[in-house]
Chain A
């Protein structure tokens, strides 16, 4: 049952990683189990919950619906890459903390990456637009009210700070 392995260079949060994976290895599994970047979580493995969302050249994608070998040419950003350069929480992370936008924290990385991309596209969302930004991610704990508040708070923090380094627009 030995499988052909492919040498793949993945560029994640500004660092290059060389791995050898089967063609069928999901990007989510490669990030988590091959690279040890376990911040990206897998909630459904069929692209509905959004917990595994990462940014591919700044665009949010479900890493459970994508093979690692398909990501070789992309700049991948995971939740581990959302902090500020000085190591402090990035604006979206900080906003979720201030607004109690997380409880168990399992879906949170997917929200953080999704909101990061959403604010890059729309830096000053209305409340309705803030809801739309997070409308594709499931959270079973918070009831979402605080998450929506966090999106708007993140927009304010982001504007005060300027966009985070290392995250493609």
Chain B
């Protein structure tokens, strides 16, 4: 009997290559003098907001080793010659009706730049050194415009990012269920919170890169891109260059991490490099450097939120009203995905009954925003979990108990939150068991014993705190993924999925699924990802969708192959299909050890041949197989042992989890140390627990970065002050928890054949929330005191909070009636043009009020 691989901690099949230095990342392609590769570099704006009066490239035109120098005017000229839309703005990939003022950049700036780093000119030279030399000789005459930096300045709208976007507002979207305002007004208790999350970024160790080669003989363009979506890049490049989709291949080689930033496409370079390859007739490569990545790839996270909540004596939510402002930077190519996710997923495992949310997505003269691991969920989780903590503090209740009082119960699934999710489908949770998760996390971290630990530590003069944060993650969004499986006559199984991979171990996980479904050894299965030649229909790797979508698709495709293999074997073995089984790649009749045929031979028999080219194929010629009374290939059949299938779910799956962290804060220096980190995670059935745990580890590390270290520091002029790894602080091993305790819960999803949910982003979602909770707890020592409303938090910021909010233990919560200058007069959200709350946008202290004080 073949050992079942689904659920086993199988070592990764991709590792051998990567460990030998034999990986093929995009910069590893077309190397060496023989390759004849040309190298591109991009002149980027040093100013955040300026009109371009003139660009002088005269000094570069005749330089030795320089092959092309292009500005926007050159794109206009080439567009006129080819009728390709080269001079039009780059596509707005995900249009949403609420995005009334969507704006995207040009491949090269037309007459205005809107952030430092925006592409202005493009040079192709013999090598990158020469290309950069050439950039330094290009002169640009700018007329400076006032930059708009940060949410406060954008909202104030004293200056506009785009002249034709009033108020800097790209979109305004409102959703709700029930009567939030009425329920809050009638609630026995109410609180208001202002909560801020700073900008951060995915920051994969490999930046963006693209290589292109034009084959004039075949009229084909081949593009290799470090992307999260080969098919997306293919369609975008074909459209921009005016080529048939069938003339463009996009291949994603090994990718050195993505975390979201590589989902946006096409980047200007993904248009310019293929264009240059075609025009110059040579392979062309662009690989960005780290500073370019900081100032021209996307960021995320920056949002300011205002919360009003009404609740009962048990802390049960009666009404929740959230208004927030999303800084989407200078352009909106990826639409409203991030704020829509925040606005819906902040509900987490809870059921507020009456909920209203409205957000504005704002332009600023900073790098654009597209999803970064978690994609809006960390902010949403921060908002909801800070609210839960505030309620617990207000009522003097255990934070875990307040959460438990609000959980959707196991018998309430599927649970419809009454909202529309990012994919345009209902926000309906498929399955889960949140009380069981809570019990597990409390046991794992020692929640109920913590006060004794705190007392022990206090006796030593040490200050510790514990935090808890819960989340739900919509994973496995559609619309679909597909898989193609081909069994070679050698018996080797070739699997192709169009979905890409960036280190999540897809080659292993998908091979596990296929090996089980087809009954073959793991080592006989080879998985290719992200190659449009092998599978031209695909979406991409993001939003924790790969396992659910492609996993299901390969399972279904393998089922088709198995069915066909058994049908052919039944003929060959003169047995009934029902009596056959496949074990280790050999089909046999159950209970008859002698009657067997291997899959490779079935592959031979599946394809009737005229010509014998080896011993095996001689088995399949017209004189050896088939019934002379019938066509060699039946009307409803096709030659070859292949299968292709697609998986397209009705809606997303919903994974969930809970994190708890124990921190120590230094009474003098405000240094923050992690003493313990625990995770309970439910992603349905686990394909490979080793890989899932690796994803959790990595997510937690990124979360630690986001909570304690990472932020994009812009000055008022729109200069990114920390655009290097020296200054943008990502965790080293010294900054992450020494160990992460993990426990799994498996509530299988009813939406797919394997019962799985995604796991890629989970680790990072609750980080800001759980650290805020723990640090606050440590500083309060279990009593009232310091309140954290803005993340990340550094030791110096914690120190400043201590100074501002008073010593530990002295309650400084502001009391007073709600709405004193913090809430707009009249109801929020009267249609699209209605007013939006004008609360303070920086994280202020929580304002609380007794119900009777409500006007």
Chains A and B bind each other: yes
User: Contact partner of B31 among A33, A44, A79, CB < 8 A?
Assistant: A33
Contact (Cβ within 8 A) B12 A100: yes
User: Contact partner of B698 among A38, A80, A141, CB < 8 A?
Assistant: A141
Contact (Cβ within 8 A) B206 A143: no
Cα A22 to Cα B255 in complex, Å, equals 30
Contact (Cβ within 8 A) B733 A144: yes
- Whether B700 sits at the interface, judged by CB under 8 Å, is yes
Give the secondary structure class of B's interface.
loop
Contact (Cβ within 8 A) A41 B206: yes
A interface bracket (residues with beta carbon within 8 Å of B): 35 or more
Q: Least Cβ distance of A153 to chain B in Å?
A: 13
Contact (Cβ within 8 A) B726 A48: yes
Contact (Cβ within 8 A) A140 B259: yes
User: Contact partner of B697 among A1, A34, A146, CB < 8 A?
Assistant: A146
In A70-122, the 8 Å CB interface with B consists of 78-80, 83, 89, 93, 96-98, 100, 102-109, 112
Segment with Cβ contacts to A, from B14-22, B139-147, B322-330, B419-427: B14-22
A-B contact count (CB 8 A): 185
Cα A68 to Cα B129 in complex, Å, equals 14
Contact (Cβ within 8 A) A39 B22: yes
Q: Least Cβ distance of A72 to chain B in Å?
A: 20
Contact (Cβ within 8 A) B257 A140: yes
The residue of chain A having its C-beta at the shortest distance from the C-beta of B737 within the complex is: A145
Please indicate the chain B residues that have their CB under 8 angstroms from the CB of A37 in the complex: 21
Q: Least Cβ distance of A62 to chain B in Å?
A: 12
Give the secondary structure class of A's interface.
loop
Contact (Cβ within 8 A) B698 A105: no
User: Contact partner of A46 among B129, B699, B725, CB < 8 A?
Assistant: B725
Contact (Cβ within 8 A) A145 B732: no
Contact (Cβ within 8 A) B31 A32: yes
Cα A100 to Cα B695 in complex, Å, equals 11
- Whether B503 sits at the interface, judged by CB under 8 Å, is yes
Q: Least Cβ distance of A22 to chain B in Å?
A: 7
In B491-541, the 8 Å CB interface with A consists of 502-505
Q: Least Cβ distance of A85 to chain B in Å?
A: 14
Contact (Cβ within 8 A) A1 B700: no
Cα A12 to Cα B348 in complex, Å, equals 54
Contact (Cβ within 8 A) B702 A140: yes
- Whether A142 sits at the interface, judged by CB under 8 Å, is yes
User: Contact partner of A41 among B25, B129, B701, CB < 8 A?
Assistant: B25
User: Contact partner of B733 among A43, A103, A109, A148, CB < 8 A?
Assistant: A148
- Whether A49 sits at the interface, judged by CB under 8 Å, is yes
Contact (Cβ within 8 A) B23 A142: no
Cα A141 to Cα B12 in complex, Å, equals 15
What 6 pairs between A and B have smallest CB-CB spacing? A39-B21, A104-B503, A106-B256, A143-B697, A105-B18, A38-B28
Which residues in B have some Cβ–Cβ distance to A below 8 Å?
A: 11-12, 14-16, 18-25, 27-28, 31-33, 63-66, 127, 129-130, 133, 203-206, 254-257, 259, 289-290, 502-505, 690-691, 693-694, 696-702, 724-726, 730-734, 736-740, 763
List 27 contacting pairs A-B, 8 Å CB cutoff, sorted by A: A1-B63, A1-B64, A1-B66, A32-B27, A37-B21, A38-B24, A38-B25, A38-B31, A39-B21, A41-B256, A97-B19, A100-B12, A103-B505, A104-B204, A105-B18, A106-B23, A112-B19, A131-B738, A135-B733, A137-B732, A140-B203, A140-B701, A141-B257, A141-B698, A143-B696, A146-B694, A147-B733
If A40-B21, A105-B19, A141-B698 are given as contacts, then 12 extra A-B residue pairs at C-beta distance below 8 Å, sorted by A number, are A34-B32, A39-B20, A45-B289, A46-B724, A46-B725, A96-B15, A100-B693, A104-B205, A140-B205, A140-B257, A141-B257, A144-B697
